[in-house]
């Protein structure tokens, strides 16, 4: 860190202003998994919430994590391999809303999530979370 940046950060801290972490993200992929819940209260929509398994009651992501990759397989049986679901989105902030067409009503959507680090490295898969798409 340059001298002027160090002085600037010191002044910010003295004024009570948040000082950004300039150290970068930790090495390696995320070591924890997302915990997934699916809200089915809206017609043809799932609201997918995720949290870190180390802090499941908080919305905070693990250090160095950009967001969660969300993958889905619509229809039974549930996926047994990571190659079965299709990529849905990368979400940086929980929750994520997935909308479905009318022809998917009554089918089951199976979600698998994993953290993605700011470096692009991917973490471990979550448990599969499944929910019926309401009509």
Residue with the larger pLDDT of the pair 4 and 123: 123
Residues 6+ apart with CB under 8 A from 95: 39, 47, 48, 49, 50
| Cα distance between residue 99 and residue 70, in whole Å | 14
For residue range 38-90, what is the model confidence (pLDDT) as tens digits?
999 999 999 999 999 999 999 889 999 999 999 999 999 999 998 999 999 99
| Cα distance between residue 61 and residue 45, in whole Å | 24
Domains, the chain, ranges and CATH? 26-132 (2.60.40.10)
The distance from CA 36 to its chain's CA centroid, rounded to whole angstroms, is 9
Helix then strand then coil, in percent of the chain rounded to 5, is: 10, 40, 50
pTM of the model: 0.79
């Amino acid at each position: 860190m340059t001298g002027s940046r160090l002085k600037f950060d010191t002044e910010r801290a003295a004024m009570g202003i948040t000082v950004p972490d300039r150290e970068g993200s930790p090495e390696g992929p995320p070591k924890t998994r997302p915990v997934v819940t699916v809200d089915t209260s809206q017609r043809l929509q799932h609201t997918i919430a995720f949290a870190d398994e180390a802090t499941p009651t908080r919305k905070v992501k693990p250090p160095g994590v950009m967001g969660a990759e969300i993958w889905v397989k619509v229809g039974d049986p549930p996926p047994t391999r990571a190659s079965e679901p299709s990529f849905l989105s990368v979400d940086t902030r929980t929750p994520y809303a997935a909308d479905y067409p009318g022809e998917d009503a009554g089918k089951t959507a199976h979600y698998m999530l994993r953290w993605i680090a700011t470096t692009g490295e991917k973490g471990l898969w979550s448990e599969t979370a499944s929910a019926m798409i309401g009509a």
